[in-house]
């Protein structure tokens, strides 16, 4: 029991807290994270928030988020969490400021993104795990060996606290989305939400060019390279019979690359050449920060990478002190914000953990699942992804409800799709590993139809 004098001492604090709540409303704590305006930002009507949520008080580990309300009627729109992959790459620097956030950095500040995903949803971008982007752990020993289980657990704790802070959104439809290594992050987080019976209104997940099954995903590269004319018939033969890419990757990671696999890798790299962007084989080579998450998965192409990009506007913008101040961001244990972490040591053996079966269990639990592929990506080619989804549908007894067909944006074919009830597969025509970056308009159509539970357009409907 506190004394009379102690009670009198805390009265001013109580009065202050109550006054703040009266001034800014019930959800006062979210107001502390409200962004007034970003430097050189176009004028907009929607609200933005950014800040930290502590997920471990003992180690002082905190995850950084950027939240953008929907342009119109945010109260009725779903909340969509976005996670970039790597593992170890930034959802703010890639997802928000390069792919589908409301603004894109330019030489004169920020420009409006006409195909921002906050046209359809309240977008929540999360830097995860700690050590990525602006997220941090004061106890730096945390960075020494981070794995999928730790990442899923911290992401769940983050969401629990975030929905408490933004309680006005706790009953909105909720979706998990991401790309690349988020093929691990997203299904594992969804599974943990269900297992712990956490009361989020989880409706579905969508993952783009995702790593789901090590052997199938990586070994589909050989056929993709060959079918696109990047390697010769003879190289294709030894790349499938003498040493495939999953063997190369596994041996390289363990430091046991055999002479035959080293020879195959050199031959493939030589024929492809170092002037081809592996995650968009149709584009001229360019390696700004939005590409870096793919290179965690493609470290084996021999030869120096050729960067013909003059500037990386996102990197420059997010390292400006006034920008970091506006974003309520800070650098803890690092001196520079990086697109992909320079301190995180992720357990790369986790790449071999299959997540494809998790998708089946999610569908059985009533969660809608969309797997999509930018069809110009050779990092995680659509060939492997499509075969995994087809195999999953057969194993779980999911009947085809929409046969393989083209889907449209306006009068143009935007990709192809096949649907098995609550499990869907779609390609995005002309898209790279980061599909919303290279095909923003088609990607927005894909998101819109998925959130609404509709079929992709069969003609010029949208």
Range with the poorest average pLDDT among 24-38, 239-253, 424-438, 440-454: 24-38
pLDDT attached to residue 107: 79
Judge whether residue 307 has pLDDT over 60: no
Beta-carbon contacts of 105 under 8 Å, excluding residues fewer than 6 positions away, are 97, 313, 314, 316, 317
Q: What percent of the chain lies above the pLDDT cut of 70?
A: 87
Is the pLDDT reported for residue 131 higher than 70? yes
CA atoms in the 13 A half-sphere facing the CB of 257 = 15
pLDDT of residue 199: 87
Nearest alpha-carbon partner for 210 in 46, 369, 47: 369
Q: Place 6 in a pLDDT band, splitting at 50, 70 and 90.
A: very low
At 297 the pLDDT is: 55
Q: What is the C-alpha separation between 407 and 415, in angstroms, rounded?
A: 5
**Residue 358: per-residue pLDDT:** 98
- Assess whether pLDDT exceeds 80 at residue 293: no
Class of residue 234 by CB neighbours under 10 A (exposed 0-12, middle 13-18, buried 19+) = exposed
**Angle in degrees, 0-180, between the axes of helices 233-241 and 259-272, rounded to the nearest 10:** 150
Report yes or no: 102 and 47 within 8 Å, Cβ to Cβ: no
Does the pLDDT value for residue 442 go beyond 60? yes
pLDDT at 106: 84
> What residues form DSSP beta bridges with 424?
370, 419
| pLDDT per residue as tens digits for the range 385-424 | 999 999 999 999 999 999 999 999 998 999 999 999 999 9
Q: What is the pLDDT of residues 60-102, one digit of tens each?
A: 999 999 999 999 999 999 999 999 999 999 999 999 999 999 9
pLDDT greater than 70 at residue 266: yes
Q: What is the pLDDT, as a whole number, of residue 129? A: 98
Confidence of residue 275 (pLDDT cuts 50, 70, 90): confident
Contact 405, 68 (CB under 8 A): no
Helix, strand, coil percentages for the chain (3-state, nearest 5): 40, 20, 40
Q: What b-and-e string marks burial along 302-326, b requiring 16 or more CB atoms within 10 Å of the CB? A: eeeeeeeeeebbbbebbeeeebbeb
Q: Write down the pLDDT at residue 311.
A: 42
What is the set of active-site residues?
A: 180, 377, 433
pLDDT of 294 higher than 70: no
The pair of structure tokens assigned to 18 is 């109550």
**Residue 19 pLDDT > 80:** no
Higher pLDDT, 114 or 18: 114
CA 322 to chain centre: 26
Distance CA 165, CA 249 (A): 42
DSSP string, 78-129: PEEEEE--TTTB-IIIIIIIIIISSEEEETTEEEE-TT-GGGTSEEEEE--S
| Token digits of residue 443 | 């990607």
Mean pLDDT, all residues of the chain: 89
Residue with the larger pLDDT of the pair 460 and 305? 460
- DSSP β-ladder status, 122-126 and 368-374: unpaired
Residue 31: per-residue pLDDT: 85
Quote the CA–CA distance of 172 and 75 in Å, as a whole number: 8
Q: pLDDT (tens digit, 9 = 90+) per residue, 334-345? A: 999 999 999 999
Instruction: Using alpha carbons, select from 99, 41, 98, 30 the residue that is nearest to residue 67.
Output: 30
Q: Where are the beta strands (DSSP E) in 234-332?
A: none
- Whole-model pTM: value is 0.89
């Amino acid at each position: 029991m506190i004394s009379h004098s102690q009670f009198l001492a805390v009265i001013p604090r109580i009065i202050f807290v109550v006054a703040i709540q009266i001034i800014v409303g019930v959800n006062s704590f979210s107001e502390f994270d409200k962004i007034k305006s970003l430097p050189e930002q176009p004028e907009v009507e929607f609200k933005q928030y950014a800040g930290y949520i502590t997920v471990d008080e003992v180690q002082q580990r905190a995850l950084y988020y950027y939240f953008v309300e929907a342009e119109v009627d945010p109260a009725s729109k779903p909340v969509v969490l976005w996670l970039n992959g790597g593992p170890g790459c930034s959802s703010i620097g890639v997802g928000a400021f390069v792919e589908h956030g409301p603004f894109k950095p330019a030489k004169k500040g920020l420009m409006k993104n006409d195909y921002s995903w906050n046209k359809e949803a309240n977008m929540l971008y999360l830097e995860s795990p700690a050590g990525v982007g602006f997220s941090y752990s004061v106890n730096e020993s945390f960075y020494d060996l981070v794995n999928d289980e730790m990442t899923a657990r911290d992401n769940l704790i983050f969401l629990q606290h975030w929905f408490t802070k933004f309680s006005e959104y706790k009953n909105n439809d909720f979706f998990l989305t991401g790309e690349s290594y988020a093929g691990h992050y997203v299904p594992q987080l969804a599974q943990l939400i269900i297992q712990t019976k956490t009361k989020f209104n989880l409706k579905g997940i969508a993952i783009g060019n995702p790593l789901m099954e090590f052997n199938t995903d990586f070994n589909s590269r050989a056929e993709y390279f060959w079918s696109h004319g990047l390697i010769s018939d003879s190289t294709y033969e030894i790349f499938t019979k003498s040493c495939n890419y999953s063997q190369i990757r596994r041996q390289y990671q363990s430091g046991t690359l055999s002479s035959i696999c080293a020879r195959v890798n050199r031959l493939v790299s030589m024929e492809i050449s170092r002037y081809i962007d592996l995650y968009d084989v149709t584009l001229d080579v360019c390696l700004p920060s939005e590409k870096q998450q793919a290179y965690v998965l493609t470290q084996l192409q021999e030869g120096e990478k050729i960067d013909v990009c003059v500037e990386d506007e996102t990197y420059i913008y997010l390292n400006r002190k006034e920008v970091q101040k506006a974003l309520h961001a800070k650098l803890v244990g690092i001196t520079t914000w990086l697109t992909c972490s320079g301190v995180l040591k992720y357990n790369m053996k986790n790449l071999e953990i299959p997540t494809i079966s998790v998708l089946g269990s999610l569908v059985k639990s009533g969660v809608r699942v969309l797997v999509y592929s930018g069809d110009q990506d050779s990092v995680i080619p659509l060939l492997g992804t499509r075969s995994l989804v087809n195999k999953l549908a057969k194993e779980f007894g999911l009947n085809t409800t929409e046969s393989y067909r083209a889907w449209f944006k306006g009068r143009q074919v935007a990709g192809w799709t096949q649907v098995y009830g609550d499990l869907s597969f779609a390609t995005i025509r002309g898209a790279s590993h980061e599909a919303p970056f290279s095909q923003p308009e088609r990607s927005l159509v894909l998101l819109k139809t998925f959130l609404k539970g509709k079929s992709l357009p069969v003609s010029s409907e949208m």
